[in-house]
Structure 1
Amino acid sequence: MKHIFPFVIILIAIFVYACANQGTPSGGPRDTIPPLLLESNPTDKTINFDGKEFSFEFNERINADKLKQKLIITPFTENPYKFKVKKNDLYIEFEEKFEDSTTYTFNFADGVVDVTEKNPVENFSIAFSTGPFLDSISISGRITNLYTNENIDKATIAVYSIKDTLDILTGKPRYFAQTDTSGTYRIENIKNGYYKIYAFEDANNNLKCEPDEESHGFIQDSVNLNTSQENLDIKIQLLNITPLKMVRSKKTGQYFDVLYNKYIENYKIKKADSTNQLDIPINNIIKGRTTLRFYYDSLYTYDTDSLQLIISAQDTVYNQIQDTVYIQFSESKRKPEKLNSSLLPTDKSNIDPTFNMTFSFTKPITQFTIDSMTYQYDTLYKYTFVDSVATWNENRTELTLINTLDKYFLQQQVDSLRNTLIDTTQLVSDSIALDSITQFKVNYLNKIKTEQVYMNFPHGTFITIDQDTVEQFTRFYSFKDSENFGKVSGQVTTQVPQYILQLVNDKYKVISELQNAKTFTFSYIKPGKYTFRILIDDNQDGAWEHGSMLQNQQEESIYFYPELFDIRANWEIENIEITF
């Protein structure tokens, strides 16, 4: 009996502990049924509402920890509120009453869930009016990426009355909503009127667009919402549309710099006084195209001569500014900035027989010796470049060489030399052996890599305005082997006069493009998945334009070929029909 008593005590302790630590029962099917709204005060579609308090009763216990992040109230209001949850009930209390004669919508999204499996209340929203009727206008549409046509999830649609002076850059919208995973949106209970409609990816959830960080788009014309409208689709893109500004102008060592706050697409310079005898100094854009640099001209006397210039600059979104600047130079012991250069294609690239080489320099080139540049097939055949293949940009900071090479030239020469060494008419199987010297020569020819070409650029080929130069370098290239690549060809049927046909991969990276082509062939394409994208030049000015919200300029049209296709090595896809 003594031994049984302690055992009974232990069993009782275990039982008591188990009863005190009850949790969610394990096992059984997972609860997937969301809470059900049983009653609300006010009820949905209430009119003449004059209160500040709201209550909602559900059929099970709820959690609303994320309500502040999830609840969307339209029209937008700065009216603060508090909320609390008591078992099955949610209570919300606002500090102030709502604007008179206005229809409001509360969209809770997934801000209210059950306490066990976090199933959100489905379609949880209510509408009420502080006036005698509910506004009934609705809009809907789809938000997509301009360049990929992909649906945008959680994009914000922002609706502003044209009576307001606000937009997505300057203030929060009157009505707003977010897209679902299919990129679609719907906003209800909008008051009749004219509105501007925008869309953007509100990464920081402040209901204002940061244009250099958040993709955005808009509908160009104001929309008359006297009736509900569907298919109000918007394409969004990332564009830095912040205003272009000149930050300052200053002497930098022996240079004179004009600094801007963002990328400069192009610029023009003229003298304020055309009778001034001083020349406009040589100049170019540096530092990510944000700084306009002027280089010292010996006609200028240090710290004495100055030239007043009018500089017109434009960024990539068509913002234009004009500034007046006085150029002056000072003598400096500071060393000239280092010359940097690059060449495309990069070393050891695979090339087509016809290809462009592009040299880029951080300083203007004032002396250029083209006949010192050579290209070679092995060590046997060397050729110099000629002036007709070279083209400089306006500031002489970029050189393009248009090359047309003979892919089979070296192989033909090697075959000819081999045939000269070997008299095939005298060889019958292995009955006649080559002498050792001839065999050595044949073996050497057999080892030559006939598919390669290399370019030589000696020291002193390029000399800059600062009298520095690019050191000697060599680039090796190999011709593409058609057996390792594919080809695609077809026809374009359209009434559109001007467009750009682009072959893009499955990430929408441009592989190659043609202008206004009615038939097309894209050769030497790496195996992979591809499709077509057509940029349509709607205004027929010779360039496709991405538009600008600040200029109220809509982007030009894009057509997406509906199929993704596989290109395989040593294979051609023919007779593709593109119709738009």
Structure 2
Amino acid sequence: MRDGVRLLLPLLLLGLGACATPVAPTGGPADTTPPSLVSTDPADGSTNVTERTIRLTFSERLAATAANAVTVTPASDTPPEVRVRGREVDVTLPSLRDSTTYVITVGTALADQRSVALRAPITVAFATGDAIDRGQIVGLVREPERGASAGGFAVWAYALPDTLAPPDPRTVTPDYRTETGTDGAFRLEYLRPGRYAVAAVQDRNRNGRADAGERFAASPTPFLVASADSSAPPTPATFWTTVLDTIPPVAQRLRPISDRRLALRFSEPVQLRDAAAFSDAMVVTDSTSGAERAVSWYQPAGSAFEVVAEADAALPEARLVVTYTPPETPALADSAGLGPEAFRLSTTPPARADTVAARVDAFLPVSSDSLTSLRPGQRPGVRFTSPPGARLDGVRLLAGGTPLPVGFESTDGVTFRPDSTTALPAAFTLSVEVGPDSVRTRGYRVPDARDLGAILGQVTADAPVMVEVRPESGAPLLVRADADGSFLADGLLPGPYTLRIWADRDGDARWTGGRLAPYRAAEPLYFSPQPVQVRARWETEIDPVTL
């Protein structure tokens, strides 16, 4: 019996070993190193290749999804077969064309078994003829609000004969493709020398097409030239991302909050630009009696998708119908300035009594300091959580402790600032009654000209120039340069500022992104590489800028 157990034990251990599933070891420091390409067979850059299977060997075992990161140019009607086995990726082409350069691109979706992905794409090429194409196009894709790098964008190149306009990336398959790395940079390699239309697209579904709603970046010029001249490295082209928004916000749902409040939700973030005009465009009708109900609309702070209606009196427990007729100028709009189309929604308010009381949300501009310095033209304000009603009478502007006769105005129904005709004293206080014997205050000062500085510069562009001067916190200052491109941004508080400068080709005083089809370049854009330091009683001049 003991001899039988001795014989059985090794067999059991052998069986357990055969059934074990290899897994990455746990413990130790986190793995942050992406896999690297160790070798290729045939070697990268080989010519006269006849073997249809290309083997890529990496430094570590790969995730099974690595196959989805591989693309081959030129594309064929039958896609290549991609197999991942441990550290190896085999790419088998259905056939080979004569005298053709093939480019295999491994995108940043390739990751190891710990899900550590490539930081930049890998490109491997071989040729079936005696020579391999050596053309290159390099570039950088950036986002236009802060100038940050835009990683993970697909970059597509389309061979462009002299007689053709740039193709439509929504319908045409690219001739070459790569991706941006985490730094936003890309390099299209092994191109046949010539002209190419180039587009960058955030191709989320990886279908090789520019779909509606996907961010994209048009080339700064209708075409870029791929040159094989290794003595003159190509100059990187800068692409600015945008999204083409032609769809206005849609009113999706009207929901009751209480017997005096209704919330209206839109399909995308909106801004209530003119609460009074929006209220005039909205008609709230009691379906039982047909009577109109007096309501005012406002947008609470932080409520990007919703606006709220407040009724003067309790609403009846009957179906209410809200009808909107768009005014000529949108009183509510999305980030592209588009207002909603006409709509009609309904709901039934509950019997639940309204208990919302307006509270002070913040003094403006928002600051942690008890004394806030205002730049010239900047207006202070106070923001409530809901329309203050009679509580607005408790808001006072005090100079030396004496109330000044000031009216307050609002665009969103909850934020109130001294009207534009009020001349602000050099030092004053905003005071708000928050209880029978309680007030909240914020001190302000309008700096003397001797406490302020300026930024000046010269910009060369093919259109009128706009200069956006951005402080570390608070709203930016927008300046239009003179006809010769010179600008002066004065009245600035001391401190660091970032400059965002663009050629305003369409004259709307806003930066406008490009278009893929029909092609239109984005307005040329520039960010100051370092913050510009402003000092009191000093004009700081920046280096000349060419857009």
Give the direction of change, closer, same or farther, for the CA distance of 1:521–1:100 in structure 2 (3 Å limit).
same
Contact 2:503 2:523 in 1 (8 A): yes
Q: Distance in 2 between matches of 1:304 and 1:91?
A: 64
Match of 2:7 in 1: none
Give the direction of change, closer, same or farther, for the CA distance of 1:186–1:455 in structure 2 (3 Å limit).
same
Tell me how far 1:237 sits from its aligned partner. Answer: 4.8
1:125 aligns with 2:124: yes
Cα deviation, 1:339-385, whole Å, max 9, x if unaligned, reads 344221456433336652222234345446558624253xxx42234
Question: Of the candidates 404, 407, 410, which is equivalent to residue 384 of structure 1?
Answer: 404
Match of 1:438 in 2: none
Match of 1:21 in 2: none
- Correspondence 1:89-238 to 2 at 5 A: 92=90, 94=92, 97-98=94-95, 104-107=102-105, 125-128=124-127, 138-149=136-147, 156-159=154-157, 162=167, 165=170, 175-179=177-181, 183-189=185-191, 197-200=199-202, 216-219=216-219, 223=223, 233-237=237-241
Cα deviation, 1:528-568, whole Å, max 9, x if unaligned, reads x5453334432222444456889987653333446655456
Figure out how many residues of one structure are paired with residues of the other and give that number: 456
Tell me the C-alpha RMSD between the 2 structures.
5.7
- Correspondence 1:541-560 to 2 at 5 A: 541-545=508-512, 555-560=522-527
Contact 1:264 1:290 in 2 (8 A): yes
Q: Distance in 1 between matches of 2:291 and 2:445?
A: 53
Cα deviation, 1:212-241, whole Å, max 9, x if unaligned, reads 9x9753338875989999657343458696
User: Identity rate of aligned residues, in percent?
Assistant: 9
Tell me how far 1:141 sits from its aligned partner. Answer: 2.4
Q: Distance in 2 between matches of 1:514 and 1:41?
A: 55
Give the direction of change, closer, same or farther, for the CA distance of 1:237–1:473 in structure 2 (3 Å limit).
farther
Contact 1:284 1:363 in 2 (8 A): yes
The TM-score normalised by the length of structure 1 is 0.58
Match of 1:309 in 2: 324
Match of 1:375 in 2: 398
Q: Matched residue of 1:386: which SS?
A: coil
Contact 1:247 1:260 in 2 (8 A): yes
Q: Distance in 1 between matches of 2:531 and 2:282?
A: 54
Match of 1:7 in 2: none
Tell me how far 1:195 sits from its aligned partner. Answer: 5.0
1:401 aligns with 2:422: no
Contact 1:366 1:396 in 2 (8 A): no
Tell me how far 1:290 sits from its aligned partner. Answer: 0.8
Tell me how far 1:105 sits from its aligned partner. Answer: 0.5
Cα deviation, 1:163-200, whole Å, max 9, x if unaligned, reads 66459xxx999622334858352243369897561155
Contact 1:536 1:559 in 2 (8 A): no
Q: Distance in 2 between matches of 1:91 and 1:535?
A: 45
Structure with max Cα Rg:
1
Give the direction of change, closer, same or farther, for the CA distance of 1:384–1:296 in structure 2 (3 Å limit).
same
1:473 aligns with 2:439: yes
- Correspondence 1:333-352 to 2 at 5 A: 333-342=352-361, 343-346=363-366, 348-352=369-373
- Correspondence 1:490-505 to 2 at 5 A: 490-493=455-458, 499-504=465-470
Contact 2:360 2:434 in 1 (8 A): no
Question: Of the candidates 290, 296, 306, which is equivalent to residue 282 of structure 1?
Answer: 296
1:574 aligns with 2:539: yes
Contact 2:452 2:494 in 1 (8 A): yes
Gaps of 5+ in 2: 1-35, 112-120, 160-166, 482-486
Match of 1:322 in 2: 341
1:82 aligns with 2:83: yes
Gaps of 5+ in 1: 1-33, 113-121, 409-452, 461-469
Deviates more, 1:305-314 or 1:224-233: 224-233
The TM-score normalised by the length of structure 2 is 0.61
Contact 1:249 1:256 in 2 (8 A): no
Question: Of the candidates 360, 363, 386, which is equivalent to residue 386 of structure 2?
Answer: 363
